[in-house]
Every structure is written in C-alpha cells, then in structure tokens.
Chain A
C-alpha cells in the first residue's frame, strides 16, 4: 500500500474503534427500546455508505459510457463490491434490530423491500461483470445495469409506499419519531463519519489492487508477445 493509503487505513481503524466505544459507553441507553437501539448507529451509517458507493457506481458508469475511461470503470466496479458489502451489513443489522422491536425479522415495507431489491440488483451487477467477456463488453454492460439499477430503486420504494397506503396497514411500529438527544446525535455523527472513512479506504484499496492487476496483465501480455 502507498503511504497515504496506509495512514488513511490506520485512521479508519481508529475511528471505527472510537465509534464502537462511543456506541457502547457514551451513548445513553434508549428509554423505550433498550440495548437493541444501539444497532441504529452502525445500521444507518452502513446504509449511507452503501448509497455513497452506489452513487459512485452510477457516476463511474456514466463517465465510462461517455469516454470509455478505464479508470471510471474500475471505480464503478470496486464501488459496487463495497456497496454490496454495506448493503448486506444494513440488511443483517436491520433484521437483528427488527426482531426484538417489531417482533419479526422482516416486514415488507417500502424501505426494506427496496433495500432488498437494491441488494439483488448490485449482486446481478457483479454477476454481469463475471459472466460478460472481460474488458469492453463487461464494462459497457455493467455500466448500463448500474445506471438502470440506480433509477429503479427509488421507483421500487415509491411503488411499495403507494401500495401500503392503498392497503390495510398491518401493525408496523415505525421506530424513531422523537428527535435524538445530543449524545446520541454525536455518537451517530462520529459513527457515520468513521464508516464513510472506512468506505473510502476500502474503495481505494480495492481500486489499487485492480489497477495493479490490470498492469500485471498488461505486462504479461507484452512479455508473451515479445
């Protein structure tokens, strides 16, 4: 790893440890939900990180279709992996939180449904990258999938929301509501920043690995041609 990247990685590790300490030691115990509420900090931060990563997939895809820049495609590819990782974390932690509070691991509300569809679409994105012929075809096809997936997710969210309001509501106790006390807000801000830093580091590391891999592949090709 390069020196700035190593420093950033060390900072991200420290920030995550600090966020963990704040979540368990500094943030107050929730009056209504008790200890499970502590899931909130990492759950929401992971969701934000996933959205940021998928926005990079979208941006990388658009730039690639525009200019066929290999760097844009590489950024989109590695961001999709990191985004999928954080979506998985969001879904798993959300389910663990839902069980004690809502009484079930899963409900089909707009946010849960659209997050699940989000997960499936970017899993399909990575599958396209694996199945399409490497190089230009994989990059183009993936860019198209990444762009359409980004358009579709808000529509899924909106559809289910519309469906819910048309449908007799089952008992869903939406969490939240009251504004957060300052200690919780600070803990959340620190966790979100720590997770975003970690996201950036993960993307940068994966980007560098991919760039080096492509460089090696290029050198091997050159050597074989010689």
Chain B
C-alpha cells in the first residue's frame, strides 16, 4: 500500500514539476477561462437574465472545456515524448501510475479554478468564498479527473485523439454537472434547497475513482 502511494506521489510530482518548469499549461488554461468569461459576457444578454442566473452555466461550461484541455495534455505529452512506454516498463502498478497522473491533472484543474472563480466574481458579481461552491467544484474536479484521464489515456493511444476525448468524457461527466451545477446555482442565489449535493458528489468520486483505477490496467496495456 505504501509502495502504491509512493509511486502515485512520484508520478504526480513528476507531472507537476514538468509543468512548473515549462509553465505551459497553467497560463494557457488561465487565459482560456478568462476568454470564456469574456465570450459569455457578450454572448448572453446578461442585463436581461441577471448575472446570477447565467454565471453557474458559464462556470460549468468553462470548467468542462478547460478540463478537456488539461486532461488531454496529460497523456498526449507522454506519447509525444514516447515516455509512456518507459513509464509502463517499470514494475509499478498501472493503477498507481494512472492515479498519479490523474492527481496531477486534478491539481492543475483546481489551479485553473482558482483563476476562474474570482474571475467570475469580478465579471458577474457572484460570491467567491461560499463553502458549497468551493466544495462542489473541488469534488467534481476529482471525479472528472478520474474519468477524464482514463479516457485521455485511451484516446492518446489512438489516432485522432483530440476527437475521441470530448465524445467519451463529456457524457460521463453529466452526473457531476447535474449535481454540481445545482449546488453552484444554490450558492449563487437560486431558489430552493440544495440538498445533499456534496455528499452525492463524494459518492460519485469514490465510485469513479475506483472504477477508473480498475480499468486503467486494461487501458495502459501495450
């Protein structure tokens, strides 16, 4: 078990160190979400609907597409450098390698949310520090990273990988968007009760992290 966690930490550390040295992904992702806010501001009739009505949808759209970019890169970079094979040649468990990479990707997306949420607050006047909002985003990010990285690993080994990831990941993320979306709507002042959204998101996380790490063995095969 400790060996498993050590491998996971080492892989995650490697990915985060690469990002820290190259500084490619985070600036692009930050720019991407700010641009998404800009487009939303002019695409929607904000004055008519009120920013609080539109903001949750804008948040999830920006987050989901930023997630596709972030998760797509995690395995695409390994393939471009042909470093995935050497990683898989080590006797480390496939699940540990996979979870390490998913952890690093989740941390990157969380860092992107640190730009997105204040940006949304700035441009749309929504709250930043609501615990429901922060909790829903963090929990959704974990499950989305598990599924997203599994299918990014799968897509990276095929041709036309950019095509495959959105088609696979987006439908599977729907439960997170449905439940997390409702939690964010409540946090941003919608009517009605939020209910146990955070508990549900945690359940989804546990389920999909377990399922994805079991499936990783079959996806990270050759």
Given A65-B218, A145-B168, also A152-B158 (CB < 8 A): no
* B204 on the A face (CB < 8 A): yes
Q: Are A124 and B192 in contact (CB under 8 A)?
A: no
Given A120-B171, A131-B158, A156-B174, also A166-B193 (CB < 8 A): yes
Q: Are B172 and A162 in contact (CB under 8 A)?
A: no
Within 8 A of A (CB), among B154-185: 154, 157-160, 163-164, 167-168, 170-172, 174-175, 178-179, 182
A152 CB contacts on chain B under 8 angstroms: 171-172, 174-175
Interface centre among A65, A132, A140, A166 (most CB of B within 10 A): A166
* A69 on the B face (CB < 8 A): no
Q: Are A148 and B215 in contact (CB under 8 A)?
A: yes
Q: Are A147 and B215 in contact (CB under 8 A)?
A: yes
Q: Are A131 and B172 in contact (CB under 8 A)?
A: no
Q: Are B200 and A144 in contact (CB under 8 A)?
A: no
Q: Mark A123-150, 1 if CB is under 8 A from B, else 0.
A: 1100110011100110011011101110
Given A147-B215, A166-B193, also A137-B178 (CB < 8 A): no
Q: Mark B196-222, 1 if CB is under 8 A from A, else 0.
A: 000010001001000100010011011
Within the complex, what minimum Cβ distance (angstroms) separates B200 from chain A? 7
Within the complex, what minimum Cβ distance (angstroms) separates B204 from chain A? 7
* A121 on the B face (CB < 8 A): yes
Dominant SS among interface residues on chain B = helix
* A160 on the B face (CB < 8 A): yes
Q: Mark A148-187, 1 if CB is under 8 A from B, else 0.
A: 1101100110111011011110000000000000000000
Q: Are B171 and A140 in contact (CB under 8 A)?
A: no
A145 CB contacts on chain B under 8 angstroms: 151, 154, 168
Measured between alpha carbons, how far is A30 from B11 in the docked complex, in Å? 63
* A98 on the B face (CB < 8 A): no
Q: Are A167 and B211 in contact (CB under 8 A)?
A: no
Q: Are B171 and A159 in contact (CB under 8 A)?
A: no
B204 CB contacts on chain A under 8 angstroms: 155
Within the complex, what minimum Cβ distance (angstroms) separates A167 from chain B? 6
Measured between alpha carbons, how far is A159 from B218 in the docked complex, in Å? 28
* B135 on the A face (CB < 8 A): no
Q: Count of B residues near A, CB < 8 Å?
A: 34
Measured between alpha carbons, how far is A121 from B172 in the docked complex, in Å? 8
Measured between alpha carbons, how far is A131 from B219 in the docked complex, in Å? 15
Q: Are A166 and B194 in contact (CB under 8 A)?
A: yes
A149 CB contacts on chain B under 8 angstroms: 171-172
CB-nearest residue of chain A to B168: A124
Within the complex, what minimum Cβ distance (angstroms) separates B112 from chain A? 24
B194 CB contacts on chain A under 8 angstroms: 166
Measured between alpha carbons, how far is A10 from B109 in the docked complex, in Å? 56
CB-nearest residue of chain B to A65: B218
* B50 on the A face (CB < 8 A): no
Within the complex, what minimum Cβ distance (angstroms) separates A132 from chain B? 5
Q: Mark B16-28, 1 if CB is under 8 A from A, else 0.
A: 0000000000000
A141 CB contacts on chain B under 8 angstroms: 154, 157-158, 219
* A117 on the B face (CB < 8 A): yes
* B195 on the A face (CB < 8 A): yes
Q: Are A167 and B182 in contact (CB under 8 A)?
A: yes
CB-nearest residue of chain A to B182: A163
A117 CB contacts on chain B under 8 angstroms: 171, 174
* B191 on the A face (CB < 8 A): yes
Measured between alpha carbons, how far is A127 from B194 in the docked complex, in Å? 37
Q: Are B192 and A166 in contact (CB under 8 A)?
A: yes
Q: Are B182 and A131 in contact (CB under 8 A)?
A: no
Q: List 18 A-B contacts (CB under 8 A).
A: A120-B171, A127-B164, A132-B157, A133-B158, A140-B218, A144-B215, A144-B219, A148-B147, A148-B215, A152-B171, A156-B178, A159-B175, A159-B178, A160-B178, A162-B178, A162-B200, A166-B195, A167-B192
Known: A144-B215, A162-B200. 6 other contacts (CB 8 A): A131-B163, A133-B158, A140-B218, A144-B154, A163-B182, A166-B193
The 6 closest A-B pairs by CB, nearest first: A159-B178, A159-B175, A120-B171, A124-B167, A132-B158, A144-B215
